[in-house]
Amino acid sequence: MMTIFGMPTQALFGQLLLGLINGAFYAMLSLGLALIFGLLNIINFSHGALYMMGAFVAWLALNFLGLGYWPALIVAPLVVAALGMLIERTMLCRLYKLDHLYGLLLTFGLALVIEGLFREAYGVSGQPYSVPKELAGGWNLGFMFLPIYRGWVVVASLILCLGTWFAIEKTKLGAYLRAATENPTLVQAFGINVPVMITLTYGFGVALAAIAGVLAAPVYQVSPKMGSDLIIVVFAVVVIGGMGSIMGSIVTGYLLGLVEGLTKVFYPEAASTVIFMVMVIVLLIKPAGLFGKGA
Amino acid sequence: MNAVIISSRQKPFVLALLGLGLVLPFAIYPVFLMKGLCFGLFAAAFNLLLGYVGLLSFGHAMFFGWSAYITAHAAKEWGLTPELAILAGVALATLLGLVVGWLAIRRQGIYFAMITLALAQLMYFVAVQAPFTHGEDGIQGVPRGRLFGLIDLGDTLTMYYFVFAVFVASLLFLYRVVNSPFGQILKAIRDNEPRAISLGYEVTRYKLIAFVISAAFAGLAGSLKSLVFQLASLADVNWHISGEVVLMTLLGGVGTVLGPTVGGFLVVAIQDYFAGIGSLVIIIQGIIFVVCVLLFRSGMIGVLTPWLKRRGING
């Protein structure tokens, strides 16, 4: 058996792949958080709950409507985005003139309600969601065995993240968005409907979370708790990366996933805490975050 | 400004509350009251930060829970008397507050909240892995012991009066802090940080001191709780507790002296009432959060005080 640093390559690359997958979810969630924060000045605490909801919509669609994985990949983000936009129009929009902390508290409350409702209905134990048959099985790459589905998650998330980056940094719509982030009043004065843009941005941000949820469903079990466990780690990722740059969020997400995967191989006891430790170190060295612009 | 501790107008009101606290255990189940007092104190400590410095900590469970662990361990394994066990717990909470505060005040606003939350989660995982916490079981059967080696706290009523005395002393101390020159500076920082800086105040130092005081009293609340229930467990360090203390403060009234205690009792009452019914507690707490933020941001006390004033009753 081949080994690297005394580790069987099979285990090493297996954990690295798992780390990369976790990183994909970190990247997609922190990207959505950064987008929402940029325009709404709100940290969306319900992001984790909406990610969980994405996974549950896929599971419900399969078990009650017979809708498979591929339709769910479209339906779940649409459902979650619709709910998100409803939340934004009815509740969040009342808070824009207040301290940012109120947005955090409101979305925290919403996260509790959403998680509580799913726990009430489906209990805390996870529900299995099987890998779609087109992506079942795996390839033997020689140095490791690659389950096709896991490869797909990494590729799909990369496409989504880079697509979002391209749309924001290189298209006209993205330019409006960046302008509105800098100065909404001025952009409004140029005749662009900023409130609608805010609503759509929130919808898009939570839709990203929902897609991440659907992608995660076959990897982890679908459980009401999956969101709250993840969102705290994502917050640490956001603190490390800073929310100033889209590419920054993406890179930080994948990087920290890999760091976590490596820790699982070499010092498993610290795997659950390593990202928080990195956050402490970053706070000590560069308090504004790796890609941040001031506090 | 030199603050008088309690003005003569408030005196009858405060005395009435004290009297109420003394007779209440004969009317209401004392363990429920003690739980309310512990969480009331916890919320009052948290409120020092949110209400008077404007810092939202989302990680206060780490002080509460870790202090509970240390007190429970000291009382059970080292056989310390309760006051020393509590002191050990509070000492750790203070130290932890110093480190966490020092790290977290490097960032402001929303980032501050996220950093405290993440650090609390770090301490949660440390508690999961540390052997002395006994993982999922927690530290059970913690002896209440004899206070100063003399007074047996095993008696529920004696325990109640001990908790009540600590609670009253702590609240008076926090009230004194808030109404001291130091407290005035905290409020100045909350209302206009750049101005406070330009006046020459070392803002970070004031923030850090407030954070440490808040952590210490949050720890005191956790220590008391572990003696009352004779249990310290992972539930005490979980982020749910951090959320609950925010809820108590918000519900009672941010930046009011008695509000957090009122909120603490309300949240504990809701928990006890709906305890048997699945996840209903979480859903209700979430709804209260949403309603508080959208409809009454000044909380119960903030709504009640003007109403009482209009009726000529001074609170």
In this prediction the ipTM stands at 0.87
Per-residue pLDDT of chain A (295 residues; tens, 9 = 90+): 566 666 677 778 888 888 999 999 999 999 999 989 888 888 899 999 999 999 999 999 998 998 888 999 999 999 999 999 999 999 998 888 888 888 999 999 999 999 999 998 888 888 888 888 888 888 877 777 788 898 899 999 999 999 999 998 899 888 888 888 888 888 888 888 888 989 999 999 999 999 999 999 998 889 998 998 899 999 999 889 887 788 888 999 999 999 999 898 888 888 888 999 999 898 888 888 888 765 4
Six token digits for residue B87: 């002191």
**Residue B116 or residue A38, greater confidence:** B116
Q: For residue A146, which phi and psi values (nearest 5 degrees)?
A: -110, 110
Non-local (6+) Cβ contacts of B43 within 8 A are B245, B248, B249, B252, B260, B261, B263, B264
B238 in Cβ contact with B61 (< 8 Å): yes
Alpha carbon A109 to chain centroid, angstroms: 19
Q: How far apart are the first and last CA of chain A?
A: 49
Does the CB of A92 have a partner CB in chain B at under 8 Å? Answer: no
Q: For residue A43, what are the domain limits?
A: 11-285
Q: What is the pLDDT of residue B249?
A: 92
Domain count, chain A: 1
User: Is A94 close to B294, i.e. CB distance below 8 A?
Assistant: yes
Among the partner-chain residues B109, B285, B297, the one whose CB lies closest to the CB of A100 is B109
| Contact assessment for residue B228 and residue B35, using Cβ atoms and an 8 Å cutoff | yes
Yes or no, beta carbons of B115 and A239 under 8 Å apart: yes
User: What pLDDT band is residue B6 in, cutting at 50, 70 and 90?
Assistant: low
Q: What is the CATH number of the domain that holds A174?
A: 1.10.3470
First to last CA, chain B: 22
- pLDDT score recorded for residue B216: 97
Nearest alpha-carbon partner for B48 in B244, B257, B191: B257
B286:A116 CB<8 A: yes
Tell me whether residue A275 is in a domain.
yes
Q: Answer yes or no: do A228 and B239 touch at CB < 8 A.
A: yes
A191 touches chain B (CB under 8 A): no
Residue A294 inside a domain? The answer is: no
In a domain, A96, yes or no: yes
Q: Which of A94, A113, A277 sits opposite B286 (nearest CB)?
A: A113
B223 CA to centre of own chain: 11
> DSSP of chain A, one letter per residue?
--EETTEEHHHHHHHHHHHHHHHHHHHHHHHHHHHHHHHH----TTHHHHHHHHHHHHHHIIIII---HHHHHHHHHHHHHHHHHHHHHHTGGGSTTS-HHHHHHHHHHHHHHHHHHHHHHH-SS-B--PPPGGG-SEEE-SS-EEEHHHHHHHHHHHHHHHHHHHHHHHSHHHHHHHHHHH-HHHHHHTT--HHHHHHHHHHHHHHHHHHHHHHHTTTS-B-TTHHHHHHHHHHHHHHHH-SS-HHHHHHHHHHHHHHHHHHHHH-GGGTTTHHHHHHHHHHHH-TT-TT----
Given an 8 Å threshold on Cβ–Cβ distance, is A110 in contact with B115?
no
Which domains occur in chain B, in start order? 11-310 (1.10.3470)
